[in-house]
Structure 1
């Protein structure tokens, strides 16, 4: 049985990841600032706590095989910019460095769709967006996500046996959130900030597992979204109305996501199983 530490396991995505990995035979250790036993409470901005958590805590558990790092202040504006930067950047460095100390070579972490240029007040270079153009962070939160990707590349350069996969998750949704989706049709611009994308937490969890199980080394980043948009209107009509000057690089399916998941499908074998439409 593979023992996986999940940081931020009490969050919206974290809960789905903890459940999904458990259902697929993993032994999961949930590290979070909140919660009750058997969860372990931790402050990831404290390197000593982080290092101990990834090398084993007394009678709780011993060595760790892999890390899924989800813990963070989850969006811009929730705290002042400097506080967001300090918390998220330091916590991620501590997790990466503690994994190095513990000899863990399988690391998956939550990057973000925001590095693609959200909220797209400056239009994207083309549609659907993918991983091929340089990061365009437009907030301190997004800047940290970009720097995390750069930092992971250097950790992997230092250790050729290390695998670090950054998952650029779209806006995470639970099934109970879907009741609101039909109201989005009233104003197509209200959700254009992320090209009308979303990720069902259960499909996000599938992507985490696929990333853990991917056999490879080095750093890779993947956009993780659902296969469709949050809208009832066609994807082509949305792109034409809201981003009329942006090149569309392929023929779009009726409700096809404009956050390309082609790379995740091709490399990880990721395939969304859920949709708000069903």
Structure 2
């Protein structure tokens, strides 16, 4: 967790899109508990929650609906207060709607929300991007990363509309910063879960690690994802930033070195990877946001002399 920016400033309001979803529920509750006045917006009705100051419903690709959501949020923002935006609304995976709708909804909702935020001189925008923005997770073919662990500068390999929608959403955020001067942070999340959802994913990966190879066995606890959003809102930043936010380990029981030898034997390794170390580099999150995940799923392994270590791998 972060240690330097633990609460919101006085009179700070946040508009959270996608508030009816699982991550939206966790984020709105966490932000309310740490000092924000929270307004939830979604295309679906937002269930009543005591921590929400107000809600708005409408198509977030529709400028009129987005303007109405901002009006609702600004009504709850004092004249000397700040308004932030957290954009979580999206089609969360391929196959829910056709690929054209996936691209349209994800890209246009991000663009529409971000531009209205810029026009309203919003203090900061935090958006949910995806580890799939690299292009591996939902590709119709096996591809090897250019190097591991993957950082935010890894080349774009996207050949699927979902990955493309996240790349374009990141570009929309960068455009918003250039156009309006608004600080934007796009968080590249992997699979997010807790409770039964996380338990089901861990069981799937344990049963068939190969099936999760394109996601690189990455994961993040829901509570850590909510904390990453809060950290992105409060970190002392300006400009536009894309930031990986993944757990420091994998969702696999097998050591990471074994996974690499089985599935990515030719990929260059640029930095040391621990026995169960993540294949996503989240050091930018630590450096810029002062964010480190604090929720895990493993039984701690022994440390000190004789403790197991990751197999050695070659460097480029």
**TM (normalized to structure 1)?**
0.93
Pick aligned residue for 1:141 from 158, 162, 170: 162
Matched with 2:186 is 166
Deviation at 1:122, TM superposition (A): 0.7
Q: Aligned equivalents of 1:239 and 1:132: distance in 2?
A: 21
**Which one has the largest radius of gyration?**
2
Deviation digits for residues 82-120 of structure 1, max 9, x if unmatched? 111222222111101111221113000011111112227
Q: How many residues align?
A: 276
Root-mean-square deviation over aligned CA pairs = 1.8
Alignment of 1:168-207 (within 5 A): 168-180=188-200, 181-207=202-228
Query: Tell me, which stretches of 5 or more residues in structure 2 are unaligned?
Result: 1-10, 49-53, 300-316
Alignment of 1:249-268 (within 5 A): 249-268=270-289
The answer to whether structure 1 residue 108 and structure 2 residue 140 are counterparts is no
Q: Aligned equivalents of 2:203 and 2:175: distance in 1?
A: 44
Deviation at 1:135, TM superposition (A): 2.4
Deviation at 1:42, TM superposition (A): 2.1
Matched with 1:128 is 149
Whether the aligned pair in 1 keeps the contact of 2:13 and 2:77 (CA below 8 Å) is no
Deviation at 1:182, TM superposition (A): 4.0
SS at match of 2:157: coil
Q: Aligned equivalents of 1:264 and 1:233: distance in 2?
A: 26
Matched with 2:264 is 243
The answer to whether structure 1 residue 97 and structure 2 residue 115 are counterparts is yes
Q: Aligned equivalents of 1:172 and 1:265: distance in 2?
A: 19
Query: Tell me, which stretches of 5 or more residues in structure 1 are unaligned?
Result: none
Q: Aligned equivalents of 2:73 and 2:215: distance in 1?
A: 40
SS at match of 2:125: strand
> Which aligned segments of 4 or more residues in structure 1 are displaced greater than 4 angstroms?
none
**TM (normalized to structure 2)?**
0.82
